[in-house]
Structure 1
Amino acid sequence: MGFVSFEMRFSHLNSICTVTRPGLQNPTRGKKSLDTRWVFRNKQDDSGVIVRNKACLVVRGFRQIEGLDYTEVYAPVARLEAIRIFLAYASYMNFTVYQMDVKTVFLYGEVKKEIYVDQPPSFINSKFPNHVYKLDKALYDLHQAPRAWYATLIDHLLQHGYTRGTIDQTLFIKRQDNDQIVVQIYVDDIILGSTIEALCHEFQQVMKKRFEMSSLGEMTMFLGLQVKQSSTGILLHQGKYVEESLEKFEFKDAKAANTPMFERPLLSSDPDGEPVDQTHYRSLIASLMHLTASRPDIVFAVCQCARHQANPKHSHLTAVKRIFRYLKGRPKLGLWYPKNHEFDLYAFSDSNYGGCDIDRKSTSAGCQFLGDRLISWQCKKQQTVSTSTAEAEYVPASACCSQVIWMQHQLLDYGMNFLDTPIFCDNEAAIQIMKNHVQHSKTKHIDIKIHFIRDCYERKLIHLESVHIDNNVADLFTKPFAKAHFDVFVAMLKMILFDDC
């Protein structure tokens, strides 16, 4: 057939399925069998050359009924912030990050429930055309497949002395004397790093005992993030995707912009503006949202434009085009994680009081660092209208506290304990509200979920510190700036050009 992966995948079907024998009672009586389909795909390299033709047998899992064909199907997936913490820790510990891939990952999971599937199209047994397969292991697109795979993987690693993270269930650590190996798993993609190379080789052998693996060498791309490792640090960027997006939406020859957004006028609903194609507008926003995984400099502008996807106007499209023109001027910009540097946890919190002209709601912003390494950032419109600047600043401080507490627990698995983490806020009134439990007219209406920051403060998990507004990095996620001020904040985020690392 010309598909190199076809024979392996089809032969694997015989090992995971049992065909019913003639003369036995039909096991599907009172039950339904799921039909199957072949999926063909051409795998290309970075230059677009076809390197492999693949065929995969999949189940039409959308026909499964919850409660009848499956119950619990949850499978843990690593957060993007967890990946950045992993890379930040690797840069701090000065070890190389390697990458591995599991072939036909979902075919290893063992199915607990009784499931039947039809014979594959074009491969129906002429002697028993009405018989079906009973699955012993999962197939692609089966609702149980991800959960079954993780259960199989977890059991295998625990048997070989690896410890599972208490917060991040996709993180595995093994310690040997003064050395350790850290493994992060995202479905079939695995990244690992160790203080000694021997532990990395041992992990590869452990995985190859049970699964068919491919070693990809040093980590270069993971979840759409390009990773450049050097002797001085690790650079995270999406340069290739920026170039592809500029070419896809015909911005290659556009005039470059200095900032992602104009300072004035502020973006509004523009009820009298000229409507634009909604599909095209949403496609532009989707590409930009994907870029925010490594480009915090465009987060505020993208969030502002994303609020108008339901009824986009020409003014909104102009704002989106400016973001692309900004990317045209700075396509090679990424997050820099230096090696052998300080590794203290701290955060910034800020707010733009009544920043939305439509409903007068404020915009919350925050960002968290490990030393000079930016780990996560937030930009979100608040759910309620704040009646004072103190309240507007207090809400994002509480949200920032939630992220800090999660990072504290995540870092405990790495053996690092960060208590009394500083959160820098440029509003003295918000700091006093956290310290003062007396309720008065300005604070009694604030929701309990916001006040939980007081409990974290009393337990000495965090504390708020005053910072001058010019030094508050989170301010970048609350409003547009002129070029001079904007460049200062980008530098504070430790974003550099690819050629500078």
Structure 2
Amino acid sequence: MDVKNAFLNGYLKEKVYMKPPPGLTHPPNKVCRLRRVLYGLKQSPRAWYAKFSVIVSEFGFTSSPHDTALFIHKTTRGMVLLLLYVDDMIITRDDVTGVEELKQSLNQKFEMKDLSVLCYFLGFKVTSFDDGYLLSQVNYASDLVSKVEFNDDKSVSTPLEPNVKLTPMDGSPLSNPTHYWQLVGSLVYLTMTRPDTAHAVHIVSHFKAAPRATHYAAVIRIIRYVKGTLFHGLHFFANSSPMLRIYSDADWVGDPFDRRSTTDYCLFLGNSLISWQSKKQTIPSHSSTEAAYKALDDTRTSFIIVAS
């Protein structure tokens, strides 16, 4: 679903004035006081969210404590979930009647457009299969690869070279690190559906303050890997068991510069991967056993957050 001119639905709480628009007849030395928000105001997103949340609460929806943009409605017939991003929303359910009632109610409050079955959302491609859904970023990954001018069609089988140990002093400093920042930022967003790149992107992100030629070469290798795996993504199985399984590991002294280890974990709901992380530990470990125990503790904390 898409809301047309979403920000114009919000009401201002603050006093905001503007010059009368061209072509409007008005007394001299007068200004307009805005009662509703306009595009370009800093208050627009907050005012629109406040208006929308009040409306959906009237329909029986409550905001999730974990994500305020996720609204939940439970009835005896089932559940309806609504995820809002600015003026776009995803509605899913096991209560078909509830979804139709919600659409009708929203159409009475806002000017809406039904975009039908979910296919693309914020750069994510959703493909439906008999056994579930595939969530990928094929087009986004392809656009990222096109930002790099490769001299050949070569791809690589791993995001990082085996046993690579990057440090802040490797190679010569980049004269203009802007391109490095752009590529790393794009790779961070790509990890939303590509956990296979999470650890490598985690490493190159450490050097954004002062990137060097060796770090840039590592970023290019990650993109070469993405080039050969464009269609990789997350497969969510429809008939998967509700059992939670979690795996964690740590590399001891993974960073040769500060001697800290890195914790990696992944959480499965049945056969579907639903959460993962690659994060450097806060203090150095004296042994591989200590690094593993810290990884277990970090994983336990993250698991409690996810499970709640």
Give the TM-score, by structure 2 length: 0.91
| One-letter identity of the residue aligned with 1:180 | M
Match of 2:209 in 1: 310
SS at match of 1:386: coil
Match of 1:165 in 2: 64
1:304-453 equivalences under 5 Å are 304-409=203-308
Separation in 1, partners of 2:239, 2:28: 65
Separation in 1, partners of 2:5, 2:28: 27
Larger mean CA deviation between 190-199 and 164-173 belongs to 164-173
Separation in 1, partners of 2:39, 2:301: 36
Match of 1:238 in 2: 137
Match of 1:274 in 2: 172
**Does the alignment pair 1:203 with 2:70?**
no
**Does the alignment pair 1:116 with 2:14?**
no
Separation in 2, partners of 1:370, 1:341: 8
| One-letter identity of the residue aligned with 1:275 | P
The answer to whether the 8 A contact 2:123-2:139 is kept is no
Separation in 2, partners of 1:112, 1:309: 40
| One-letter identity of the residue aligned with 2:19 | D
Separation in 1, partners of 2:29, 2:294: 63
Q: How many residues align?
A: 307
Separation in 1, partners of 2:255, 2:65: 39
Tell me by how many angstroms 1:124 deviates: 4.6
Separation in 2, partners of 1:226, 1:114: 42
Separation in 1, partners of 2:28, 2:295: 63
Q: Could you give the per-residue CA deviations for residues 70-122 of structure 1, whole angstroms, max 9, x where no partner exists?
A: xxxxxxxxxxxxxxxxxxxxxxxxxxxxxx111111211121222212223xx
Match of 1:212 in 2: 111
The answer to whether the 8 A contact 1:251-1:328 is kept is no
| One-letter identity of the residue aligned with 1:201 | E
The answer to whether the 8 A contact 1:347-1:369 is kept is yes
Tell me by how many angstroms 1:196 deviates: 4.1
Tell me by how many angstroms 1:324 deviates: 1.5
| One-letter identity of the residue aligned with 1:114 | K
The answer to whether the 8 A contact 1:251-1:324 is kept is no
**Shift in CA distance, 269/254, structure 1 to aligned 2, threshold 3 Å:** farther
Match of 1:101 in 2: 2
The answer to whether the 8 A contact 1:252-1:328 is kept is no
Tell me by how many angstroms 1:255 deviates: 0.6
**Does the alignment pair 1:254 with 2:153?**
yes
**Does the alignment pair 1:188 with 2:61?**
no
Tell me by how many angstroms 1:236 deviates: 0.7
Match of 2:41 in 1: 142
Q: Could you give the per-residue CA deviations for residues 307-352 of structure 1, whole angstroms, max 9, x where no partner exists?
A: 2223323222222221111112211111100111112223222211
Tell me by how many angstroms 1:168 deviates: 3.0
Separation in 1, partners of 2:221, 2:237: 31
Q: Could you give the per-residue CA deviations for residues 192-212 of structure 1, whole angstroms, max 9, x where no partner exists?
A: 112243222211111111111
Separation in 2, partners of 1:172, 1:341: 24
Give the TM-score, by structure 1 length: 0.58
Match of 1:224 in 2: 123
The answer to whether the 8 A contact 1:109-1:152 is kept is yes
Separation in 1, partners of 2:213, 2:14: 53
* Structure 1 runs of 4+ with >6 Å offset: none
Separation in 2, partners of 1:222, 1:315: 35
Separation in 2, partners of 1:115, 1:278: 40
The answer to whether the 8 A contact 2:77-2:95 is kept is no
Match of 1:179 in 2: 78
The answer to whether the 8 A contact 1:233-1:339 is kept is yes
Tell me by how many angstroms 1:147 deviates: 2.2
The answer to whether the 8 A contact 2:240-2:269 is kept is no
**Shift in CA distance, 141/396, structure 1 to aligned 2, threshold 3 Å:** farther
SS at match of 1:366: strand
Separation in 2, partners of 1:179, 1:300: 38
Segments of structure 1 that go 5 or more residues without pairing to the other structure are 1-99, 410-501
Segments of structure 2 that go 5 or more residues without pairing to the other structure are none
Tell me by how many angstroms 1:295 deviates: 0.7
Match of 1:89 in 2: none
1:442-481 equivalences under 5 Å are none
The answer to whether the 8 A contact 2:15-2:33 is kept is yes
